[in-house]
Structure 1
Amino acid sequence: MKYLVVDDEPIARRRVRRLFNDYETFECVGEAANSQQAIELAENSQPDLVILDISMPGMDGIELGHHLRESHPDIKLVYVTAYPEHALKAYQVYASGYLVKPIDQQQLAELLNHVFPNSLAKIQFQVGHDIRWVNVADIIIAQTDDRYTHIYFGKGDALIDIPLKKLLSDYPTHFVQVHRNTIVKKDSIVKLESVAGAHKVVLEGVDEPVQVSRRAYSSLKSLY
């Protein structure tokens, strides 16, 4: 998940980035001290999330929000303000939320869980004697493997003892079922293929297409 920080105060920008350091799934793609810089950075980096101050010289955060909404309709806007009464203005540009200065870790975690459900969730797995964790947001494919579930993510793969059915019910906004033994990350779906009666789904970052059942293919066609 890519985010951009917009604030005319360098200390405020550094604080936001420091708080985000706890979340591996979020990558800062830039800082902007004013709206013009923000517009240029948003155009070049296509962030999923913009954290922006309301009170800035020149074009303020509200005006900037309107501009970003027009050029990037899917972008998530989160306003930062020292004045809670400004929250109503933020929601008038369909903001996803707001943070009141000074921002703390709990405030940020609650907001991220609201804006991006499951983005902070982690699943535990074991490698030898080591216990490790993977962010649910990073899991691209999960398949049944005998009595275990085999998960594939950007930096590798692992076996876990969580059934597919539970993964699907716990993280319905993240996964979609494509076969009785396979679920995939919804946002990673690039396209559906149907060749000689065989249905497959192409996933971003995955070399080989994944088999799709006939029933799932019909459902996916209506979604994508």
Structure 2
Amino acid sequence: MKYLVVDDEPIARRRIQRLLGEFKILEFVGEAQDGQQAMELVESLKPELVFLDISMPGMDGIALGKYLREHNANLKLVYVTAYPEHALKAYQIFASGYLVKPVDRSQISELLNHLFPDSLAKLQYQVGHDIRWVNVPDILIAQTDERYTHIYFEGGDALIDIPLKKLLSDYPHHFVQVHRNTIVKKASIVKLESCEGVHKVVLSGVVEPVQVSRRAYASLKTVF
């Protein structure tokens, strides 16, 4: 989940970036010190989440949030401010969250659980007599056969008895279907390839490209 930090104070930007760095689902892509710079970075970096201050010189966070919301309907805005009395104005422009300084890890964890219910989810699997768990955000590929679903994740692979259809419906922000028997991690998609009628998707962290159906390829081309 790509995010951008907007605050006129460098120390505040570094602090929120340090806290957010503890969450693997979040990927820092840039920081801005004012509204104009933020608008330019949102346009070029395409973050999915923006953490922004309210009290800034020039364009304040409320005006910036209104602009970003009007031009990026799916962008999630989270205000980070020392002034809780501004919360109502923030939510009037459909802010996704509101954190009051000084921010701590528990606040961020609660916010992420609210915004992305599947972000901290875990799936259970068994190795011999041992029960183990894998974080859903770490799963790169899930493929099914007639009986089981084979998942591949950072550090290994496992068999689980959860159907692909359920994985896709339970974690729609994480997975996208690329074939009738395969789903992959959306955020890991690097590019699409097509050669002599064979379509594939290249994933970050995966050596071999994954085959894509004709229908899925047409759909993915409109997004990636």
Q: Structures share a fold, TM > 0.5?
A: yes
5+ unaligned residues in a row in structure 1: which ranges?
Answer: none
Structural mapping, 1:1-224, within 5 Å? 1-123=1-123, 134-144=134-144, 148-153=148-153, 155=154, 158-164=157-163, 167=167, 170-171=170-171, 174-175=174-175, 182-185=182-185, 203=201, 205=203, 207-210=209-212
Change (3 A) 1:161 1:208: closer
- Give, as a single letter, the amino acid of the residue that structure 2 aligns with 1:161: I
**RMSD across aligned C-alpha pairs, in angstroms?**
3.8
Contact 2:125 2:131 (C-alpha < 8 Å) held by counterparts? yes
Kindly, what percent of the aligned residue pairs are identical? Answer: 64
Contact 1:123 1:136 (C-alpha < 8 Å) held by counterparts? yes
TM-score, reference length from structure 2? 0.73
- Give, as a single letter, the amino acid of the residue that structure 1 aligns with 2:56: M
Residue 182 of structure 1 deviates from its aligned partner by: 4.4
- Note the alpha carbon deviations across 1:52-83, whole angstroms, 9 max, x for none: 00111110001111121233222111011212
- Note the alpha carbon deviations across 1:161-196, whole angstroms, 9 max, x for none: 3522764565355446787754455776x99xxxx9
Contact 1:118 1:171 (C-alpha < 8 Å) held by counterparts? yes
Change (3 A) 1:78 1:23: same
Partner SS, residue 210 of structure 2: coil
- Note the alpha carbon deviations across 1:16-53, whole angstroms, 9 max, x for none: 11111211221111111111221122122111100000
Change (3 A) 1:37 1:176: closer
Residue 103 of structure 1 deviates from its aligned partner by: 0.7
Residue 114 of structure 1 deviates from its aligned partner by: 1.4
Distance in 2, matches of 1:136 and 1:125, equals 12
Distance in 2, matches of 1:90 and 1:117, equals 22
TM-score, reference length from structure 1? 0.73
Partner SS, residue 78 of structure 1: strand
Change (3 A) 1:158 1:38: same
Q: How many residue pairs end up in the alignment? A: 212
5+ unaligned residues in a row in structure 2: which ranges?
Answer: none
